[in-house]
Amino acid sequence: MELHILPPDVASRIAAGEVVERPSSVVKELVENSLDAGASKIDIECRRGGIDLICVADNGSGIPASQVELAFQRYATSKIDSIDDLVNVRSLGFRGEALPSIAAVADVEVSTRAAGEELGNYVYLHGGTVAQSEGRPRAIGTTIAVRRLFRHFPARLKFLKSEGTENGHSALVVSQYALAFPLVSFSLLLEDRLALRSPGSGDARDVVAQLYGSELARAMVPVELSADSLVITGLVAPASLSRAGRGHQSTFVNHRWVRSPLLQRAIDDAYRGLLPEGRHAIAVLDIQLPADRVDVNVHPSKAQVKFADEQLLFRHVRDAVSAALGKTRIASEAQHLATPGTAARQTAWSVSEQEPLGSSFGTFSMAPSAGSTSLPPLRILGQILTTYIVAEGPDGMYVIDQHAAHERVVYDRLLKQHGAHSPEIQGLLEPLTIELSPAEDAALSGLMDELATLGFALEPFGARTHLLRSIPASLADSDVAATLRGILQDMSQGGQGESFERLAESIACHASVRAGQQLTPEEMRQLVRQLEECAQPRTCPHGRPTIVHFSVPQLEKLFGRRT
Ligand code: ADP
Ligand code: MG
């Protein structure tokens, strides 16, 4: 083929692909536009995961009738004029790409009225071109309805996950903007259910209460620092209220939601030594800095930014969070003890009746050893670094990673349960009340069936609150609320497919003992015994080793007894 320039319709479809990756990208762009238009109220709705409908209605400044069609042209923006403006962007949008990109992959209806205009305007775009345009009454503001997203893009449709997962992404976007703009009142309807309503009170703590529950909101402490033309504000939770993923860390730069490894590291640094391995802080931070100290034009969906003074920013963020934590360390510890839901997880494996009573510490654990992958009988010597179990076998020394080994055990049991007609269930004496964030709740709706087949009995109990009445027997000794939350976070982040294996991996990871947890000799013996019963005891479900073997010849070589 000869070198040539692509026709505009092909070029715009390619560009659309970058902006509109999935339904939540549309939600993000439309919400950003509403915020740029100065709205104080934004109502969002998604149907069938956003494929049938995404509708965003605001009470912002509206689009003048003469400009509605222009807004759907590429590079049409009212927000910047020149290169100089680009280095001083204060608005969330500035590229003039979102509306044309959305119209290239969906049907769009706009209904808008600008201040000072008598009548509103209605425009319908089909296949990227205007199919209908007429005057229609509307209050000042804008409503944009996006229908049949990706209908003519089967490759994109195939790439999308379940409706629940897609709704989870959209809920996350709305949640983040609600946190960044506490003065704006947001509502989000997912499949006709109210997933979120933020009061618009101006207090981020009220939004946190809506998203993560009032208990957490009350426990969070304010962050405040201003220095070197930086203003850092926000809320952080005491270390006792950590989470398994980073899903509860929100970072904003001039109210723009960004993912920033630099800011994550600064938060981690402030919590250093306070959190066990694999746990993450809960934080909401907004960094205000002069617009020319940050480049917002470095990422296709503007989700990342580049800072002029990284070192300075890192230090100030870390210090601001540290200072906030320092003030409340003592209070938070007291809270930790008083809140049963956040108490340290139990680690005990119960002794089952087959098992000989009394500690078998110092004896060989008896396991059938068949085939090359199975384990030989091991005598447990102890735990090192509160992470590894050291054992002796007939042919040398074994070091077992307690987390990886436990993951394998739980994973295998879950897979076994999955095939079983009636899973082994552990009923809870007191049902556990679990409050979920909108994103977690949306993810849960897509997982209900799978979770039920495993033995999780969940009942709706008010908006985004569920009663957990039973759990899979294999998770009896874990902190189930934390496990469930961890699973929902993993699954709401999408990733490689939505197979049952992925769910089981996620459950196994969150329900397993962590590095850093002290184990009793009995617990270690139980764990190794359970590992011996697994068909693939030598790797965890992710394929990492559970056990490392130093053979007798290897040891002899290391000590120069043999060459
Ligand atoms: P950008 O946000 O980068 O300017 P968009 O394609 O998202 O580009 O929007 C194009 C233009 O349409 C905006 O610059 C703005 O003038 C107008 N617009 C879009 N949405 C709204 C809205 N909700 N309220 C008012 N004006 C809007
Ligand atoms: Mg925009």
Residue nearest to atom 8 of ligand 1 (CA): 96
- Residue 562's pLDDT is 81
Whichever domain contains 528, its CATH number is 3.30.1540.20
Give the integer Cα–Cα distance in Å for 112 and 133.
12
Q: Each residue of 217-269: pLDDT tens digit?
A: 999 999 999 999 999 999 999 988 888 888 899 999 999 999 999 999 999 99
Ligand 1: nearest atom to the Cα of 100: 6
> Is the Cα torsion angle 31, 32, 33, 38 positive or negative in sign?
positive
- Entry field: residues in the chain: 563
CA angle 192, 196, 200 (to 5 degrees): 130
Span from the CA of 77 to the centroid of ligand 2 (angstroms): 8
- Residue 344's pLDDT is 29
- Residue 428's pLDDT is 87
Give the integer Cα–Cα distance in Å for 171 and 527.
39
Say yes or no to pLDDT of 23 above 50.
yes
* 71 belongs to a structural domain: yes
Residue nearest to atom 23 of ligand 1 (CA): 34
Say yes or no to pLDDT of 348 above 80.
no
Same domain? For 524 and 388 the reply is yes
Span from the CA of 83 to the centroid of ligand 2 (angstroms): 18
- Residue 268's pLDDT is 94
- Residue 67's pLDDT is 94
Whichever domain contains 312, its CATH number is 3.30.230.10
User: What tokens were used for 121?
Assistant: 């305007």
The domain total for the chain is 3
Say yes or no to pLDDT of 445 above 90.
no
- Which residues sit opposite 142 in a β-bridge? 58, 112
Q: Each residue of 452-486: pLDDT tens digit?
A: 888 899 998 888 899 999 998 888 878 888 899 88
Say yes or no to pLDDT of 170 above 90.
yes
Residue nearest to atom 13 of ligand 1 (CA): 77
- Residue 498's pLDDT is 60
Which residue in 109, 102, 94, 124 sits closest to 32, CA to CA?
Answer: 94
Span from the CA of 57 to the centroid of ligand 2 (angstroms): 14
Say yes or no to pLDDT of 94 above 80.
yes
* 1 belongs to a structural domain: no
Residue partners of 441: CB distance under 8 A and separation at least 6: 171, 195, 464
Task: Quote the mean pLDDT of the chain.
Answer: 85
Say yes or no to pLDDT of 44 above 50.
yes
Which residue do the tokens 């934080």 mark?
283
The sheet that has 230-236: what strands, in order across it? 221-227, 230-236, 283-288, 249-253, 256-257
189, 411 Cβ separation under 8 angstroms: no
- Residue 320's pLDDT is 96
- Residue 34's pLDDT is 97
Span from the CA of 96 to the centroid of ligand 2 (angstroms): 6
pLDDT band at 303 (very low <50, low <70, confident <90, very high): confident
Which residue in 245, 215, 281 sits closest to 482, CA to CA?
Answer: 245
Q: Given the DSSP bridges, would you call strands 388-393 and 396-401 parallel, antiparallel or unpaired?
A: antiparallel
Span from the CA of 266 to the centroid of ligand 2 (angstroms): 30
- Residue 373's pLDDT is 62
- Residue 140's pLDDT is 97
- Residue 339's pLDDT is 35
Which residue in 251, 249, 269 sits closest to 260, CA to CA?
Answer: 251
Same domain? For 198 and 213 the reply is no
Span from the CA of 364 to the centroid of ligand 2 (angstroms): 67
Judged by DSSP in three states, 58 sits in strand
Say yes or no to pLDDT of 352 above 70.
no
* 532 belongs to a structural domain: yes
Give the integer Cα–Cα distance in Å for 459 and 448.
10
Say yes or no to pLDDT of 349 above 50.
no
User: What tokens were used for 373?
Assistant: 């992958």
* 453 belongs to a structural domain: yes
142 φ/ψ angles, rounded to the nearest 5 degrees: -140, 140
* 125 belongs to a structural domain: yes
Give 344 or 515, the one with higher predicted confidence. 515
Q: Each residue of 101-137: pLDDT tens digit?
A: 999 999 999 999 999 999 999 999 998 899 999 999 9
Share of the chain above pLDDT 90, in %: 48
pLDDT, mean of residues 287-316: 89
Whichever domain contains 41, its CATH number is 3.30.565.10
Of 202, 223, 250, the one marking the end of a domain is: 202
Say yes or no to pLDDT of 361 above 90.
no
57 in contact with ligand 1, CB cutoff 6 A: no
To the question of pTM greater than 0.85 for the whole model, the response is no
Give the integer Cα–Cα distance in Å for 527 and 184.
51
Say yes or no to pLDDT of 335 above 70.
no
Number of C-beta neighbours around residue 305 at 10 A:
20
Residue nearest to atom 26 of ligand 1 (CA): 63
61 in contact with ligand 1, CB cutoff 6 A: yes
Same domain? For 324 and 371 the reply is no
Same domain? For 408 and 286 the reply is no
Same domain? For 132 and 215 the reply is no
93 in contact with ligand 1, CB cutoff 6 A: yes
* 275 belongs to a structural domain: yes
Same domain? For 467 and 369 the reply is yes
Lowest-pLDDT choice from 85-99, 230-244, 309-323? 85-99
Of 158, 186, 202, the one marking the end of a domain is: 202
141 in contact with ligand 1, CB cutoff 6 A: no
- Write the DSSP string, 256-286: EE---HHHHHHHHHHTTTTS-TT-B--EEEE
168, 442 Cβ separation under 8 angstroms: yes
Lowest-pLDDT choice from 78-82, 389-393, 441-445, 523-527? 78-82
Same domain? For 30 and 155 the reply is yes
Say yes or no to pLDDT of 494 above 70.
no
* 343 belongs to a structural domain: no
361 in contact with ligand 1, CB cutoff 6 A: no
User: What tokens were used for 386?
Assistant: 């509160």
User: Domain range for residue 194?
Assistant: 8-202
Give the integer Cα–Cα distance in Å for 63 and 74.
16
Give the integer Cα–Cα distance in Å for 435 and 378.
43
- Residue 495's pLDDT is 53
Same domain? For 73 and 210 the reply is no
Residue nearest to atom 1 of ligand 1 (CA): 96
For the CA of 142, the nearest ligand: 1
Same domain? For 229 and 303 the reply is yes
Span from the CA of 180 to the centroid of ligand 1 (angstroms): 19
Same domain? For 425 and 560 the reply is yes
327 φ/ψ angles, rounded to the nearest 5 degrees: -60, -30
Residue nearest to atom 25 of ligand 1 (CA): 62
167 φ/ψ angles, rounded to the nearest 5 degrees: -60, -35
Of 174, 202, 230, the one marking the end of a domain is: 202
Same domain? For 251 and 219 the reply is yes
Same domain? For 55 and 137 the reply is yes
- Residue 501's pLDDT is 81
Say yes or no to pLDDT of 279 above 50.
yes
43 in contact with ligand 1, CB cutoff 6 A: no
pLDDT, mean of residues 184-207: 94
Cα dihedral angle (540, 545, 546, 551), rounded to 10 degrees?
150
* 467 belongs to a structural domain: yes
